[in-house]
Amino acid sequence: MGNIKLGATLFCYGTEYARYQYDFEECVRQAAMAGAQGYEIVGTQMLPSYPNVSEEFLGLVQALKVKYGIGPVGYGANNDKGLLSDRNLTDDEMLADAILDLKAANKLGCKVMRVQYMMSPEAFGRLAPYAELYDVKCGIEIHNPETPASETIQAYLDVIKKTGSKYLGFVPDFGFLSVAPNRPKWLKALQIGVKEEHLQMAAQFRRDGIPMEEAQKQLFAAGASPAIMDNLAGMYGFVQFHDRKDLPDLLQQLKDIIPYSFEMHCKFHYLGDDGKEASIPYEDILPVVAGSEFDGYLICEYEDEMYSGGTEFTKRLIALEKKILG
């Protein structure tokens, strides 16, 4: 058996934070009230002096840890390859940027840093000695449209094995285990006049592996509103989903990657009153993690596509995790 701990990323409260309904302290308080044992902080979102951590902010973090009993355990780095308007950043520049994030993570006391796969495998491999120096494990996020078995992620796995560093690994995002269309996007499409029958057609095209361009042609031929394109693009991109018959294979891919995983992102988009996630089958996923040797945090990560705020949904997901994990 492993050692599973439950956490939340303060990104869950991004809507409330952006609307000035919550300040940093309130985000931490809400995470603690939801049942989180630790939290992830996304540097670009909540560090006032990003990429640096000021002494003032560090003092606030430490004071809140005493006050609410939880502190930062994970650091969400943004590897923005398109930072410049005229060219992409080089591997050297991406590495230098990641080292700044490592310093911030170390100062905050985080033991895990989420790295995005915009950082090349080669640059990621070169990050190993710096991760070891700052004692922060760096995990490439496995995020839709990638899966653990995809060519992109396997390239990172090759680098991890080649370096032999225990400080390089993965942060799987459960979004890659989606088996139904994104519920908030579906509801928003209906609100702006897209017909249910056309959404069903789009979903079936995705399940059948029809290329997106061909799906678009057939949808428009059937009289679908052009407004369906946002949904269709999502189904083939960052909120894509799989046929449920593919779930056993995807869960096996998760099992295979767990020995290299430092943290997991419990992505969720919509939880109904029944407490179930509409597209990500937690009742199938969490027993796989519980039956492994995983030692780390399951970090709730709410994507607020309805702009309704993450407070209630975060409570619901942690309650669901506790129920499933016992």
- pLDDT (tens digit per residue) in 110-137: 999 999 999 999 999 999 999 999 999 9
Domain residues of the chain, as ranges?
3-180+244-325, 183-235
Residue 2 confidence (pLDDT) above 90: no
Structure tokens at 214: 């061909």
Residue 270 confidence (pLDDT) above 80: yes
Average pLDDT in the 10-34 region?
98
Q: Beta strand 3-9 with 112-115: parallel, antiparallel or unpaired?
A: unpaired
Determine the Cα–Cα distance for residues 85 and 113; give it in Å rounded to an integer: 27
3-180+244-325 CATH: 3.20.20.150
Q: In b/e form, how buried is each residue of 173-202, taking b as 16+ CB within 10 angstroms? A: bbbbbbbbbbbbbbebbeeeebeeebbebb
Q: Which residues contact 231 (CB under 8 A, 6 or more apart)?
A: 181, 182, 185, 186, 189, 194, 199, 202
Structure tokens at 133: 């120096």
Determine the Cα–Cα distance for residues 54 and 291; give it in Å rounded to an integer: 41
Question: For residue range 55-107, what is the model confidence (pLDDT) as tens digits?
Answer: 999 999 999 999 999 999 999 999 889 889 999 999 999 999 999 999 999 99
Structure tokens at 281: 């089958």
Average pLDDT in the 283-298 region?
98
Residue 273: per-residue pLDDT? 80
Question: For residue range 186-220, what is the model confidence (pLDDT) as tens digits?
Answer: 999 999 999 999 999 999 999 999 999 999 999 99
Determine the Cα–Cα distance for residues 236 and 231; give it in Å rounded to an integer: 9
Q: What is the SS3 assignment for 4-37? A: EEEEEEHHHHHHHHHCCCCCHHHHHHHHHHHCCC
Tell me the whole-structure pTM to 2 decimals. Answer: 0.94
Residue 306 confidence (pLDDT) above 90: no
In contact, 231 and 199? CB cutoff 8 Å:
yes
Mean pLDDT for all residues in the chain: 96
Determine the Cα–Cα distance for residues 237 and 168; give it in Å rounded to an integer: 26
Question: For residue range 167-188, what is the model confidence (pLDDT) as tens digits?
Answer: 999 999 999 999 999 999 999 9
Cis bond before residue 51 (omega within 30° of 0): yes
Determine the Cα–Cα distance for residues 113 and 141; give it in Å rounded to an integer: 10
